[in-house]
Amino acid sequence: MTNQSEDVQEFERRSGTYEKGFFQWLFFDRIHRNAVRAVPAGLQPVSILDIGCGTGRLLRAAAKRWPTARLTGADPAEGMVREARRLTPMAEFHVSLAEELVLPDGYADLVFSTASFHHWQDQQQGIRQVARVLRPGGLFVLVDIVMPLGIGKIHPHGRQTSPAKVRWMFAQAGLEVQRQRRVMGGFVLVTVGERKT
């Protein structure tokens, strides 16, 4: 398992070519579609936050569905944020860890995190930060890799977790899980939680 500093440095190195990689359309676009589909049809968020936003790709997809929403991204890699600002000029971006969001309480109606959760050093603290920046009634859509049948214990990439542990962490942070399901052959977990108070 790598530490957070090594993770950030790796994404810094890849930031200039990240958007053009074949993995974007092969993998991440599918993850983003699953994230956007997980949001109830009637929800019209005023403010959307993407944590671990990379080059802003998910926010560009969100802008198509919710064209009037205020878009914000946070990512710890300065190079990724630089590319996101260039490619997604209609959004605001911050260089920030999930565990140290610089946004005010109740900032967002809808928070996404897609395929970045396994990189968070302190997942519980990151979820607490999500709950803090969500307004009451707001939703957190967490989409991340899960390794089935114990493969996560031997896989070196990031902090793997289980559906049950994700539900527990949501509850500890004051988020009520609305739904949870596996997609993409069971290797990706979608969890939707609501901040109740």
For the chain, the domains span 4-195
Q: Tell me the residue type at 36.
A: V
DSSP structural state of residue 28? I
Query: Kind and range of the H or E element at 137?
Result: strand 134-145
pTM tops 0.75, yes or no: yes
pLDDT tens-digit map of 67-113: 999 999 999 999 999 999 999 999 999 999 999 999 999 999 999 99
Q: In which region does residue 120 sit, left (phi positive, over 0), alpha (psi from -120 to 50) or beta (all else)?
A: beta
Q: What is the pLDDT of residues 109-124, one digit of tens each?
A: 999 999 999 999 999 9
End-to-end CA distance of the chain: 35
Q: What is the pLDDT of residues 16-52, one digit of tens each?
A: 666 776 666 667 888 999 999 999 999 999 999 999 9
| CATH H-level, domain 4-195: superfamily | Vaccinia Virus protein VP39 (3.40.50.150)
Residue type, 106: G
For residue 108, give the nearest of 62, 165, 163 by alpha carbon: 62
